[in-house]
Amino acid sequence: MDQEMRQEFAKVNKNFEKLATMIKKSFDDVDKRFEKTAAKEDLKGVEKTMATKKDLEKFATKSELREELKRFATKKDLKKHELGKKDFIEDKLADLKGDLVVLMTKEDNKIRQLIATS
């Protein structure tokens, strides 16, 4: 009888191991499906944030960018323009300084006359 119980126990144990293996396989299969689904979702997110081939075709080429940059002013152009500005500013400052000297002279004369008459 003891021998029979051991054999029954061995059969039950073997069946439990088979069941455990089947359950583990099922869980592994579910994990794989979730991983595939997650990978697909990740790819969808990537598509939203990265450029596609169609997008790349719409981008400007190097030669197009160079042509556009030629339209902008260069440093030499800006320096030429600044020199003209500087001359104009110096002339304007000289005129204002002259006007200020004339106004101060008139004020001095008024004050002298005021002092002389007092």
Three-state SS string over 14-76 comes to HHHHHHHHHHHHHHHHHHHHHHHHHHHHHHHHHHHHCCCHHHHHHCCCHHHHHHHHHCCCCHH
Q: What is the pTM of this model?
A: 0.30
Average pLDDT, consecutive stretches of 10 residues, N- to C-terminus, the chain (118 residues): 81 85 86 74 70 79 83 77 73 90 93 87
